[in-house]
Amino acid sequence: MDVGGSLASALTTDPSRVKELVDKLNADKNRYDHDAEDIQKDARRLEDETRHQESQALRLDLGEGFLELGLVMSSLYFLSKRKFFPVIGGVAAVIGAALGVFGFLS
């Protein structure tokens, strides 16, 4: 807008003729600057919210993975009859549940 005002002033011999145009261009520039600041604030707020939701989703995904691992490990007991599979499955399920609860609470 500065260029437009300077150009309008330079192209006329009577600056009072373009004063209204220059004032309008300066007012528009100030309004656009203010609007840009508001948009930047909203964008930063939304970026912070997105980061929080991404970290929450990661914890929930990890919790789901550990719960599924616990289910699979516990199911292997029925095929192999080895007692360590349900123990490992139980530990994985507890870790998965803890991650899930932590994901919801954060």
Q: Are 72 and 90 in contact (CB under 8 A)?
A: no
Q: What is the pTM assigned to this prediction? A: 0.62
Residue 93 C-beta-side C-alpha neighbours within 13 Å: 12
pLDDT in tens, 45-64: 999 999 999 999 999 999 99
- The per-residue pLDDT for 88 is 92
SS (H, E, C) 41-52: HHHHHHHHHHHH
pLDDT in tens, 17-28: 777 777 787 888
Locate tokens 């789901």: which residue? 64
